[in-house]
Structure formats: structure tokens, C-alpha cells
Copies of this chain bind each other. A is one copy, B any other.
Amino acid sequence: MADHLQNIDLSEYPYINRGLEGIVAFSTTKSFIDGAKGELIYSGYNIDTLAENATFEEVCFLLWNDRLPDAGELNELNSRLQAERELPEVVLNYIRNTDKNSEPMAVLRTAVSMLQDFQPADAVDTDHAIAMTAKMPTIIAAFDRVRNGLDVVAPVKKGSTAFNFLYMLNGEEPGTASERTMDLCLVLHAEHGMNASTFTCRAVCSTESEIFSAVTAAIGSLKGPLHGGANTAVMNTLLKLKDDQGEGADPVAFTLSKLEKKEKIMGFGHRVYKVLDPRATHLRKMSKSLSDETGHEYLYNWSEAMVKTMKEEKNIDPNVDFFSATVYYSLGIVPDLYTCIFAMSRISGWTAHFFEQKENNRLIRPRALYVAEKNKPWIPAEKR
């Protein structure tokens, strides 16, 4: 790039190309994170309070309205979500006929984008948010069945989002423990400050574009390995260890060897949390009880050994992705769907931020410093 620079010394601009780090761009009522204390709040409520008490559907209502629903409102939301689970035929056809090796997150992005074509003409943003929240699990489960050569399982018009998702994925009703685990995962991933996908969602909203464009963009952002792709990477690491060395593998030696080779160990550390991510605490408990039930104890034991080693060697804590990986695996879900499940939960936070941005909008457009030549003369192609 050096030959483009015209006497511009980029070291004079240390704040450029820094990812807007530290820039406070919004006020929000949606969530608060204290990285030093390990505290996470959704619209007034501590994540511990919500993890112990709330369903995913209650969290959706909370994030959309900045208050919890009363019993009637919660019933109504549950009914609407149940009623909206089916996919338009054109969307199902796409899922049935696209390349079977497609990335699940790419299929989710395309199918959610397509939903806009089939919304009723009089539907408003809250209707769209409910429709996407209801249909995303159906999209994910349908594609997973199709690519495995199985019949698509139609959604049921009863039960929680978590219940219906596991039912559509596996073709049988989940037990209470599995449903509750899945529901808790959805609660824990619903919202998390001004992360990259939420920021992208607000940036699209800021042009006065609509909610399908904003959510489609957010899915594309979450898809990145630096954002939502980490739990898939955690599980793939653990599965590779099993493939290479069997269930008797030594996770401590494995971790130390990675550290020695200065290789990145997925699932540890976080830009915001300097202590243990409070979501990891809840997932860790879940991971243990599920592993006991499903015969994946070795995975839980490996995880704990890796956590201990990382703490001793580097004083780095695991993040939300580390334990969600083994939880999803114990629920029988294949690793490349984990980011889709993240999206299926985070749709609640994205749409909440869309509403908030729209209410007090300002076009989001930072500036760039041009660092190349100007007004070069034209030379015809044959003389270049």
C-alpha cells in the first residue's frame, strides 16, 4: 500500500482502524455488562434472576417492551409464536432444493431474508419480530433434516420454542430436562450489549430500512468466527481430541501443548469480561448434569480440566461459548448448528435494538481517511 500514500503518516492517527473501540455511540435500555464484576443485566433484570426464573418467551417480551409480561400477555405471546411456526412453501422449497453442503448459517440468512416476501401487507414491526422468532427454529431444523436425507418435521402448535425446536430437529418430543436446558440456553444468549451483530442491525435500521434487512445483516455478522462462530470451534476442538486419542485423552497435556505452540484455544477470554462470564456459570452447571445423563461425562471432565489448566497457566476464564458447546453436543446437536441456535435466541435482542434505534434514529455513518493519490491522469488501456 505504501505507493498510494501521499505524505500521510498513519501513526499520527492512532484511533483509526481500531474498530471504534471505546467509542460510546448509543444509549440503550436493553442490556448492561460490567466486565470487571461479571454482571449482565437485560432490561432491568440480572441474568441470574432470569436464568433461574424466566422462559425464553418471557425474555423476548422483556427485551421488546422493557418490562415483564403479565400472565395474559405471556399467554398471548406464546400463542402467537406457536401459530406462526410454519414456513411459506417457497421458503421450504428453497430449503429442500438448495445444495446439501451449504452452511447452515448461510441457509438461515437466505431463508429469513425470504420471509419478508410472504408477510401480510398490514403487518407491523412487532408482527415481523414474532414471525422471525417463531420461524427461525423451523428453518434450522428443516435444513438439518433435509441435508441428512430425512423428512422435514412440521412444527407443533403447542409448547415452548425450545420444546418445538428439539421436536422438529429429532422427530420426537424432548424430555423435560432437555427442554429446560434448551430454554435456558436461549435465555442466556438473547442479548449482550453492543456486540457486532447488534451494532450491524442498528446500522441497517439507521437508513430507515426495514427489520428483515436488519436481521439478515445481523445473521451475516454473527456468522463470523470472531463473533458467533466460537462455540462450533470449541466443539470441533474437543471432537478432534476424541478422534485422535479416544475418550482416554489427556486434556491437560493437550492444553499445555497448544499453549506452548502459542495456538489459540477457542472458548477462553472475552473482550468485555475480565472475570468469569456469568452465563458460563449457568452453562457449566447445565453441562455437568447433562453429561451425567447422556454418558458424555468425559467431555465435561475434559472441559473442567481445560478450564483449570487455563486458569493456572494463563489466568484466563472460559466464556459463554466454552460450555454451550458441550451442552448442545449433549443435547444431540451437531456442531455446525450451534451458531444458528445462537441466532435463534439473539433474534430477540436484535429486534429489541431495532425498535430502540427506530424510535430515536440517526443515520450511522462514520468517516474514513483517504490515504492514496488524487487526480491521476488517464492513460488508455493499451498503453498501461
Contacts and interface: CB of A to CB of B under 8 A. Distances in A.
Interface residues of A, number: 109
Q: Which of A28, A43, A210, A368 has the most CB of B within 10 A?
A: A368
Contacts of A114: 94, 98, 110
A124 interface: no
Given A109-B216, A194-B365, A365-B195, A371 B29 contact: yes
Given A24-B13, A25-B367, A98-B90, A53 B209 contact: no
A65 B305 CA distance: 48
Nearest to A15: B24
A60 interface: no
Contact of A24 (B16, B93, B216): B16
Interface in A109-125: 109-110, 113-114, 116-118
Interface in A190-226: 193-197, 199-200, 203-204, 206-210, 212-214, 216-217, 219-226
Given A24-B16, A27-B17, A384-B71, A364 B196 contact: yes
A27 B41 contact: no
A213 B206 contact: no
Interface in A90-108: 90, 93-94, 97-99, 102-103, 106-107
B370 A23 contact: no
Contact of A374 (B25, B32, B225): B32
A311 interface: no
Contacts of A365: 19-21, 194-196, 199, 271
6 contacts: A26-B368, A29-B372, A70-B382, A199-B364, A216-B217, A227-B363
Enumerate the 4 nearest inter-chain pairs by beta-carbon distance, A residue then B residue, closest first: A207-B224, A213-B220, A217-B217, A209-B224
Interface of A: 1, 4, 8, 10, 13, 15-29, 31-32, 41, 43-46, 49, 52-54, 58, 66, 68-71, 74, 90, 93-94, 97-99, 102-103, 106-107, 109-110, 113-114, 116-118, 193-197, 199-200, 203-204, 206-210, 212-214, 216-217, 219-229, 271, 360, 362-382, 384
